Structure 1
Amino acid sequence: MSTYAQKKGFGGTIWDFLTTVDHKKIAILYLIAGGLFFIVGGLEAMVIRIQLAVPNNDFVSAGLYNEVMTMHGTTMIFLAAMPLVFAFMNAVMPLQIGARDVAFPFINALGFWLFFFGGIFLNLSWFLGGAPDAGWTSYASLTIASKGHGVDFYILGLQISGIGTLIGGINFLATIINMRAPGMTYMRMPLFTWTTFVTSALILFAFPPLTVGLVLMMFDRMFGAHFFDVSMGGNTIIWEHLFWIFGHPEVYILILPAFGIFSEIFAMFSRKRLFGYSSMVFATVLIGFLGFMVWAHHMFTTGLGPVANAIFAVATMAIGVPTGIKIFNWLLTMWGGSVKFTTPMHYAVAFIPSFVAGGVTGVMLASAAADYQYHDTYFVVAHFHYVIVGGVVLALLAGAHLYWPKMFGTMLNEVLGKITFWLFLIGFHLTFFIQHFLGLMGMPRRVFTYLPGQGFETANMVSTIGAFFMAAGVIVLLLNIIITTVKNQKVGNDPWGDGRTLEWSISSPPPFYNFKQLPLVRGLDAFWLEKMEGRKGMTPAEPLGDIHMPNPSFIPFMIPLGLFIAAFGAMYHPDHKVWALPVLIIGLAVTFISMFVRSVKDDHGFHIHKEELLDDEKGVEA
């Protein structure tokens, strides 16, 4: 049996991270992997903007442009935004509810490695014959016509990653339902925990339709089925339904955690309780509910008919109501507060007008009649990026600055943080605001070049200059991270001085077991209440005793590795490659043997004894 004395060095070796089941280390893995994919997706975006900077440009060919555009969208949504959201969910949510870990630590690690191997598989397409080229939505008419294996990489890579996301969402649901500290009722949960809860429920219902669509597409591409082939009696529009039944809730899967991060920031740095907490909770739940009733607004021009178009138009406009409630509550949280303009607060304040702009253009697009004009123009590109960049990416950058000290025990430089903010914000608006007008002037989406004399030149050049500003902001952030890591100046429990929730009541970074004694929660903003009564930490809800923790395991790494190997065999087997079937069998064997070992292994974890906890406390005081 492992002992805590052996685990205390559970620090930073590669082996520790390969075998960890600790939610905090898994959060760091998500942050690193998501950050790397974010940089890859950003480089792909720069290629797009350089190509479109001037008319008749030949920086890349038409075929390569399609691949870059497809991979930019796919990478940013599935491999950057999703894992970075999961990084903060893993790092913060268990601490906010007073838990020692998530409900299923093994499944948590498995979810990360599934995502990671799926993402690596997808990006290997660049080196193995060409990337997918059918757009990030991979509409069936384009995927059926696509040559080579690019789309197959998309299908199999997203299936592997999607399983990881799905089991991660189930894990978060189980954790929030079952592992809240004594006194932590649902209506005392911090807003970030609430948004994690609703987001996880959305994942549970949104990812299966995508999985079904990908499986049908896989049968079409690899086994000669004809689910989407019109010439053989199939239906290409069914793919659009399956994709968007996932794809529109996906927008809320990304934006709701962003709302949660900003809710924490507004309350912390206005030094006030969040205005209208109950209405914020109900608005979050309502957004999640309505998110499943609007998918066909992506399909107004496919010929569903006036009745369907009208129903989905009304539902789409209705979802603006709970979002508007949130906007006013954030403004009223700041109203009369003692506002501190930290780097996270800069992002939070800038988020409101940026996201409202995206919401207003969303209401414009929700009008089915008007959408016939906007559809497939750069107006849609501008709207989409105002929601995703103006909402999600600003929140991820804000969250990185806010929670960096809690995750790593060091504080990012505030001056460099504000330089990043201004470069990124100016670049964002330069890049995408002018694209609304490009769209209204008639510039279509997904074109790799355009002719001179159409009036598109100046706007495209401005847009490209803005993209370079955003890239400069990201470079400053990377410098900030390097400088902070090298200096390694340690900070205390509550480095901002304004922490309101449980995560700020324990050391930075938290110990392996999070809470020596589970905290007693006596109201909303539990840590703030304790500070108001003159206490430095939380009142314990239990006597000091032994703590049971799970053992590290290498099996979560091995199960996805087997699927990763098997995917190559499955993809090349229809080409009658001699080696494809053995590779498929080997990969599946690795996966199933790993699962069998897990099922028979007698792994009861280990205990941290009370004496060792007291030794830890003395060490911290010293």
Structure 2
Amino acid sequence: MAQVTEPETDNLGETLAVEAGGQTPWREYFSFSTDHKVIGIQYLVCTFIFYLIGGALATAVRTELATPDSDFVSRELYNGLFTIHATVMIFLWIVPAGTGAFGNYLIPLMIGARDMAFPRLNAIAFWLIPPGGILLLSSFFVGAAGAGWTSYPPLSTTGEKAGEFIWILSVLILGTSSILGGINFLTTILKMRMPGMGLNDMPLFCWAMLAASALILISTPVLAGALILLAFDLIAGTTFFNPMGGGDPVVYQHMFWFYSHPAVYIMILPIFGMISDILPVHARKPIFGYQAIAYSSMAISFLGLIVWAHHMFTSGTPGWLRMFFMVATMIIAVPTGIKVFSWLATVWGGKLRLNSAMLFGLGFVSMFVIGGLSGIMIASVPFDIHVHDTYFIVAHLHYVLFGGSVFGLYGGIYHWFPKMTGRMMNEPLGKLHFALTLIGFNLCFLPMHYLGLQGMPRRVAEYDPKFATVNLVCTVGSYILAVSTVPLIINAVWSWIGGPKASGNPWDALTMEWQTASPPPVENFIGEPVRLTGPYDYGMGDRNPNVQMPESQANTPMLSGGPTVS
């Protein structure tokens, strides 16, 4: 094999950035850009703003629940607050941040591509997000939807019709964005990998995005169909879900959950991939069980489509069907458990760098396991019937989606911020952010398990006074959680403007996105990208002998200046 010559510079990343024209002009982030990196940052900043809005709505909900009486907002406004809060967090934060932001930014870089397969479609997918979100929030001016993010009829067809119709229209717009993104990710991953990179050579984030994109394309159109039929019932007087006219409201539940349970995996699968890329770098060890983690993502994608009715155990579901969905739900814990054990085995015995990215990665694993264990509990029909629509479900949901997805997103921000901006984040502020988030999150949501087991119903503004003390503790925790975002905002803004400059590969990572400048040039790589090692070959020497370079690339320098391998 021909020798690879190293560039004669101490900081090739800066040299390449200069050759590429330096930093992206700030005006580019407010334009209809087709550069996947710009679009990824547009997604991240836009969805984070909606995350702050959703967090403000949640804080208002918890302030109302600090006392047993309805004394902070009216009952109608309370219904609108928790409905829009959940919708914002799911459709405007976790889904588009995990898939849209990190998927757009990282996938072409990780597979050695110049851009996404359909750049203009990619830009359209992003520019559907701001109007969809603004439309959703504008519903407060006419009376926001108050039927919860599930929008079950007949409650959703007999309440505030203007707000409910705006809710439906907004979710349809956001779902369209998600579908366009799914098409792009699947095509890019399957058709645009660099020469010599097979599916089993990809970083695990690409496998996770492959699985999530398949779920998006299969399940999201079913939700769209359900919402269109619901809109006809709402404004045209049809009776698709009205039993008085021969309809069936349970059919809506089946259609809604056929999307909305897979949506849990659409939200968490990209995070699984990010954690699989963060832990090996900062543990300085190869990932344990690469193929097991990769194929378990595809297993989750398949099994996620056949477990939806475990949300409907109290909806008159026949006993035999309950048993099927109970068993299927428990089986899906197997591929998830494979990932958790593989992550623990990766970290075990490693040379851990407990920086902010690693702390949030480890925090993700611990919080998600708690949510997963409670998920196994509510998969059991008798237990689910006992805690259905109680605060136990609220606790489980947040341990999976906040303790899981949001902790993972935070870890991704700290890990890939140097790649996106060319600047390093401040570690003391990052660790303060982690500590406040961990304390506030557990103080807010851990006691909710007790509330649910004692029978406190969710989605109510008034409750039995015997639950007042525990609810006050939860509210204090929510305030700490709200404050925890302040160090992150200060850190991100200050670091982006004047933080220490990052080298092309500050983590000594081996995946392809780190083998170019930070931030990358317009078309990602100067010359043809070269894959010198496997993505997780830490501790295996400077080169993996199983990785073969095409002769045409034999004299191409490694674009980061060559990572050092512990």
1:471 to 482, 507, 510: 482
1:43 to 56, 66, 71: 56
Q: Give the direction of change, closer, same or farther, for the CA distance of 1:72–1:275 in structure 2 (3 Å limit).
A: same
2:159 to 122, 136, 146: 146
In the alignment, is residue 353 of structure 1 matched against residue 366 of structure 2?
A: yes
In the alignment, is residue 503 of structure 1 matched against residue 513 of structure 2?
A: yes
Partner of residue 11, structure 2: none
Q: Aligned-pair distance for 1:489?
A: 3.0
Question: Size of the alignment, in residue pairs?
Answer: 539
For each residue in 1:355-374, what CA deviation from the matched residue of structure 2 results, as whole angstroms up to 9, or x when unmatched? 11111111110111221101
Partner of residue 373, structure 1: 386
Partner of residue 246, structure 2: 233
Mapped partners of 1:520, 1:13: distance in 2? 30
Partner of residue 519, structure 1: 529
Larger CA deviation: 473-482 vs 417-426: 473-482
For each residue in 1:371-409, what CA deviation from the matched residue of structure 2 results, as whole angstroms up to 9, or x when unmatched? 110101100100111100111000011101111111111
1:396-475 map, 5 Å: 396-452=409-465, 455-475=466-486
Partner of residue 610, structure 1: none
Q: What letter corresponds to residue 507 of structure 1 in structure 2?
A: A
Q: What letter corresponds to residue 65 of structure 1 in structure 2?
A: Y
Q: What letter corresponds to residue 46 of structure 1 in structure 2?
A: T
In the alignment, is residue 308 of structure 1 matched against residue 321 of structure 2?
A: yes
Q: Give the direction of change, closer, same or farther, for the CA distance of 1:101–1:252 in structure 2 (3 Å limit).
A: same
Q: Aligned-pair distance for 1:116?
A: 2.3
Mapped partners of 2:34, 2:512: distance in 1? 22
Any idea what SS the aligned residue of 1:252 has? helix
2:174 to 161, 164, 168: 161
Any idea what SS the aligned residue of 1:339 has? coil
Q: Give the direction of change, closer, same or farther, for the CA distance of 1:477–1:531 in structure 2 (3 Å limit).
A: farther
Partner of residue 183, structure 1: 196
Is residue 517–residue 543 contact of structure 1 (8 Å, CA) maintained in 2? no
Mapped partners of 1:434, 1:451: distance in 2? 16
Partner of residue 268, structure 1: 281
In the alignment, is residue 486 of structure 1 matched against residue 486 of structure 2?
A: no
For each residue in 1:214-241, what CA deviation from the matched residue of structure 2 results, as whole angstroms up to 9, or x when unmatched? 1111211222221111111111111111
Q: What letter corresponds to residue 203 of structure 1 in structure 2?
A: I
Moved over 4 A (4+): 7-10, 526-531, 538-544
1:507-586 map, 5 Å: 507-521=517-531, 523-525=533-535, 532-533=542-543, 542=552
For each residue in 1:549-597, what CA deviation from the matched residue of structure 2 results, as whole angstroms up to 9, or x when unmatched? xxxxxxxxxxxxxxxxxxxxxxxxxxxxxxxxxxxxxxxxxxxxxxxxx
2:121 to 76, 97, 107: 107
Mapped partners of 2:522, 2:537: distance in 1? 20
Q: Aligned-pair distance for 1:56?
A: 1.1
Mapped partners of 1:223, 1:262: distance in 2? 47
Q: Aligned-pair distance for 1:147?
A: 2.4
Partner of residue 75, structure 1: 88
Partner of residue 111, structure 2: 97
Q: What letter corresponds to residue 53 of structure 1 in structure 2?
A: A
Mapped partners of 1:219, 1:36: distance in 2? 32
Partner of residue 244, structure 1: 257
TM-score of the pair, normalised by structure 1: 0.83
Is residue 410–residue 489 contact of structure 1 (8 Å, CA) maintained in 2? yes
Larger CA deviation: 474-483 vs 39-48: 474-483
TM-score of the pair, normalised by structure 2: 0.91
1:120 to 111, 134, 139: 134
Mapped partners of 1:401, 1:541: distance in 2? 37
Partner of residue 283, structure 1: 296
Mapped partners of 1:510, 1:446: distance in 2? 46
Mapped partners of 2:291, 2:238: distance in 1? 50
For each residue in 1:481-506, what CA deviation from the matched residue of structure 2 results, as whole angstroms up to 9, or x when unmatched? 1221332432111112x312001110
Mapped partners of 2:537, 2:321: distance in 1? 49
Is residue 241–residue 296 contact of structure 1 (8 Å, CA) maintained in 2? yes
Mapped partners of 1:540, 1:141: distance in 2? 63
Any idea what SS the aligned residue of 2:145 has? coil
Task: Point out which structure has higher relative CO (alpha carbons under 8 A, 6+ apart).
Answer: 2
Q: Give the direction of change, closer, same or farther, for the CA distance of 1:524–1:145 in structure 2 (3 Å limit).
A: same
Any idea what SS the aligned residue of 1:180 has? coil
Mapped partners of 1:13, 1:387: distance in 2? 35
Q: Aligned-pair distance for 1:527?
A: 8.4
2:354 to 341, 355, 378: 341
Larger CA deviation: 370-379 vs 511-520: 511-520
Is residue 519–residue 541 contact of structure 1 (8 Å, CA) maintained in 2? no
1:198 to 192, 211, 214: 211
Q: What letter corresponds to residue 474 of structure 1 in structure 2?
A: T
2:25 to 12, 36, 60: 12
Larger CA deviation: 77-86 vs 292-301: 77-86
Partner of residue 376, structure 2: 363
Partner of residue 306, structure 2: 293
Q: Aligned-pair distance for 1:17?
A: 3.3
Any idea what SS the aligned residue of 1:140 has? coil
Question: CA RMSD of the aligned region, Å?
Answer: 2.5
Q: What letter corresponds to residue 497 of structure 2 in structure 1?
A: V
Is residue 57–residue 81 contact of structure 2 (8 Å, CA) maintained in 1? yes
Is residue 99–residue 518 contact of structure 1 (8 Å, CA) maintained in 2? no
Q: Give the direction of change, closer, same or farther, for the CA distance of 1:226–1:505 in structure 2 (3 Å limit).
A: same
Any idea what SS the aligned residue of 1:492 has? coil
Q: What letter corresponds to residue 479 of structure 1 in structure 2?
A: I
Is residue 114–residue 523 contact of structure 2 (8 Å, CA) maintained in 1? yes
Q: What letter corresponds to residue 144 of structure 1 in structure 2?
A: T
Mapped partners of 2:206, 2:190: distance in 1? 11
Q: Aligned-pair distance for 1:8?
A: 4.7
Q: Aligned-pair distance for 1:444?
A: 0.4
Is residue 433–residue 487 contact of structure 2 (8 Å, CA) maintained in 1? yes
Q: Aligned-pair distance for 1:84?
A: 1.0
Q: Give the direction of change, closer, same or farther, for the CA distance of 1:15–1:502 in structure 2 (3 Å limit).
A: closer
Unpaired runs of at least 5, structure 2: 1-17, 561-566
Percent identical across equivalent pairs?
44
For each residue in 1:395-427, what CA deviation from the matched residue of structure 2 results, as whole angstroms up to 9, or x when unmatched? 011101111111111111111000000000111
Any idea what SS the aligned residue of 1:532 has? coil
Is residue 284–residue 538 contact of structure 2 (8 Å, CA) maintained in 1? no
Q: Aligned-pair distance for 1:249?
A: 0.5
Any idea what SS the aligned residue of 1:19 has? coil
Any idea what SS the aligned residue of 2:456 has? coil
Partner of residue 7, structure 2: none
Q: What letter corresponds to residue 120 of structure 2 in structure 1?
A: F
1:60 to 73, 98, 117: 73
Q: Give the direction of change, closer, same or farther, for the CA distance of 1:519–1:527 in structure 2 (3 Å limit).
A: farther
Q: Aligned-pair distance for 1:10?
A: 8.1
Mapped partners of 1:258, 1:460: distance in 2? 30
Unpaired runs of at least 5, structure 1: 545-615, 618-622
Is residue 21–residue 521 contact of structure 2 (8 Å, CA) maintained in 1? no
Partner of residue 210, structure 1: 223
Mapped partners of 1:161, 1:533: distance in 2? 44
Mapped partners of 1:462, 1:540: distance in 2? 61
Q: What letter corresponds to residue 157 of structure 2 in structure 1?
A: I
For each residue in 1:429-468, what CA deviation from the matched residue of structure 2 results, as whole angstroms up to 9, or x when unmatched? 111110000001110011112242xx20111011011111
